Amino acid sequence: MNGEDFGRLAYLALLLAAVGGWIMVEYRQRLGQALRVAVAWGLIFVGVMAGYGLWHDLRRDIRADQVVGTDRIEVPRASDGHYYLRLTVDGHEIEFMADTGATGIVLSPDDAKAAGIDLGGLDYLGQAETANGVVRTARISLDSVVLGPFEDRGVTAFVNEAAMQGSLLGMDYLGRFSIQITGDRMILTR
């Protein structure tokens, strides 16, 4: 524990002593009522923290879904301004962010592992320029990539060695479609 941590701990202890002292003086004859109020506020605090912690999962669940037709896929724009597509890669569903600035399909290490790719057996011989600097990549071939009614076989992709928030769907794959952006929807047709 360094000096800064000790200072924070001392500050929190003083704050707790001050609030506790005020509660003791204010509720000295009604400690039962003070305990009920403290429990109520504690439960409110825990509820707010749980809601905040689950917000990312809830936001993903309430995000508008991609609409799959016989000859087209319609993808709504997410609240962050990006388009997210769900593809089935070698039998595993993975969410990708459409990235027109990326050349190829780039799998995050977590998504690659979820798709059954052995990360330990990969040779990270390639490099990619990203907004966060240069990263090492491993070239792989995906047996099957399915988006709605469209299936492609033997698709080249890359696994990023560094952690990423999600996988990217670059122009090598998106270029197989005619892309139209209308309002807040991206429409892919083939």
pLDDT of residue 32: 82
| Mean pLDDT in order along the chain per 10 residues (190 residues) | 82 87 81 83 88 67 72 90 93 93 92 92 87 86 94 94 91 94 92
pLDDT of residue 150: 93
Query: Can you tell me whether residue 8 is helix, strand or coil?
Result: helix
Burial class (CB in 10 A: 0-12, 13-18, 19+), 124: middle
| Cα–Cα dist 115/132, whole Å | 25
Instruction: Please report, for residues 19, 77, 95, 108, 186, the alpha-carbon distance to residue 84 in angstroms, rounded to integers and kept in the order given.
Output: 48, 8, 7, 15, 10
Kindly state the tokens that stand for 59: 């936001």
| Cα–Cα dist 59/189, whole Å | 27
Amino acid occupying residue 144: S
pLDDT of residue 160: 92
pLDDT of residue 64: 59
| Cα–Cα dist 32/30, whole Å | 5
pLDDT of residue 6: 83
pLDDT of residue 19: 83
| Cα–Cα dist 105/96, whole Å | 9
Give the up-direction half-sphere exposure of residue 181: CA atoms within 13 A in the CB hemisphere.
7
Burial class (CB in 10 A: 0-12, 13-18, 19+), 141: exposed
The superfamily in CATH containing domain 67-189 is Acid Proteases (2.40.70.10)
pLDDT of residue 35: 81
Instruction: Please report, for residues 14, 20, 71, the alpha-carbon distance to residue 148 in angstroms, rounded to integers and kept in the order given.
Output: 60, 60, 9
